[in-house]
Structure 1
């Protein structure tokens, strides 16, 4: 039954319309009567009709205003307008607001009314069919999406409740693995994942993972037979579906595919990996157990040497203090001596062992801390002469890793010296007053701070602070503050979670126009151009 709402302030007119048609017999039901547009809207909010027969001239809210409100809130309801001769201009407006057609009251009869009601039904049925087609297409696209398939596979590794059954149902509904008799998983760990990604933003890290996933998928073949899923923290899973029953044949095929995968990672992304195979199983519901076995084997490789009495998994506190001191003093010789003594305890372990990765990570964090002390307004990764971490992907042994780390420290020291020469600074640290001023800016850049407020907070004369700041940083206080704010705004833009005007406010700019001007002067492009560039890179 199609629901019909009558909207007319004239009770006699409503009675005439009701008496013209055998509503139930013709497939309609009168779901209500409203005396004006406001009352009709209230009733629609409770239960929207399929069709509304609306008089143009009514008190409180006339049919013209009602048609406008219905177009905004109930566009699916078909409107049939009733009017007298002198209301035609209003009717035309109603038609522009989406009304289907109109009837002149003095010509209203059963035949004319049924014609328009059936016309409304045809439109409703046509729109319903179109919606069903769009919904079916949308569901098909969603079901066959590689992202959805990979998520189903990854959920097995994440031990999500019912993941095996969900994957089996998904595969059945989408005709995946149709001839498979045997299933097995492989677990892959990118060896230097922690060291490669800990200094990246979330956007950069996600891009890194996506590239690795695509390269692995390309290496193993058809995603609907061999599916790569990302588990987390540099760990991936491949689900293999084979038509062979022979364990030997299946194992041979998978070993060949995994060798191709490891080769592709190294060739295209300069990444080393370790992997292990799980047990064979005959059902997708049992694949979780296959993953657990492979995952345990990979963990065993990464934890090698961790429990030996002569091994350790972190820097000693004294070593951390000494390295920080040598870094601040730019004493490269003593840095190398200390690093060599630490690696003397690590050389018998594989390069992918967790203790090795953890200790190198600590050493790299000390580098970042030192750089921030010299340049709190800039990231080490943004400086063009700074050492890059992407070379870590080619490291194959602890000895090579030690050599890489020594070179990294050497390049970092050289970067600090070059940056100081570029800004006209000396190799010594900033004075006590300017160090405090720089820290105050880092802590309060988002607030409405100025040279005067900073000087007052530090109990200094503003003129003295201004002169000292310029001498030691080669920038005015305002220039330095603006660079810090623009740097922070760029980081917010990468998250894609804020509008530009909100970002300008978040980093301390009172005026968006001034933010626009400063951003362009420092970066060479407008904020919107920078956002567009980020979107393209994604």
Structure 2
């Protein structure tokens, strides 16, 4: 029986409500009567009904105020409001306080009241079912630790000894996969994980991995049937279980789930991934071998670090020297040629390969060194002058990655040129400084610069001295020596090579100018850069 409390200050009105129905026939019983709000609350404290029928207009505490207090103190109680007046403000307030409906006393009849009572019962039953479902789910979650489950699944991919037996034991203890017949796995690789996370702290990396795990889990469904585990270095394992006997059906379901997973990573986290699906098997003990095949098919090269380093060294040492030099010379055309050459050699590699990521990481490191020299007190990326690294998450091919780096370097060169051209200089001197920046490595002079700018050499010489407090030659030599110091710090050039690369025709003259500007010889400067031996 569903218990109903009647609250009305008029005894006659309460009798009318009681007499309008055969309450017990319809599954209800009048559990109590109250003639004001305070009495109703006191009765509800002693015995809470399922439904309360409230009069709106009562002394001391009206039905509107009472409905608010019932909502706050007894939120499960369903309220039906009765009144002699058709007042919209009352209606609105009562509904806002949680009342189910509002009836005028002069229109009250058995059918209308029974309809409201039945609606109240339906809501109570629906809420009870939801509560039971939540309670059952909570019990499962309390018993089942997603962290432990994911670790057991990840151990299958890490080739931990007896990982299959450990997972099977854990599944038995927690009623997992109880009716499963077929099992399968998938190997997932985030592209390119290393480049996205190499500058992260451990906390940031863990947060990134957890976020990716949750998005993938959301995409594939119930963790108790389909479980995502993190293996390491941007790799994940997905374990599938199914009660379906048809291998074709199960394989189709896995393919659909992985397609959804890939789409969700790109939609919610802007991350591309590659994945492969392993063969089905009939036991948790065998899913490790399924993952091995899936992992092979993704062609993941993260375990081939030594081979990657060999290829990197043979491919990249000379290009690295040239890239550093051309960046300091702000030679965009030759930078493009070097980047294109590097990626032509990498075109057969998958974008997520360790080889690719090591090389791209070093190319970005060259940029970072240059930025620190030219922008020591500002974050150029924060100002939007260069693409954010987060864009790397979308890269799905070597061609895309190569184009991204071409744009990246082009933006860097442009930003540095703008920085050089700025400052408290006139238009002519700003152009002269830009000309020096672009051409210092060649045999330029005051006359050549003046001719390029359509200026009189004497006028340019006088203006240059007035604004920079240096002669044209002094300024040119300082640019060349600054660049030579950068090349020395790279450790990839001899002193004679550096002398030639920065525009000095004579090593002896380079030696003399270097000492006059830095106060030390080029060799002493190089020796100072070498790590001390203890």
* TM-score, normalising length: structure 2: 0.49
Structure number with larger C-alpha Rg: 2
* TM-score, normalising length: structure 1: 0.49
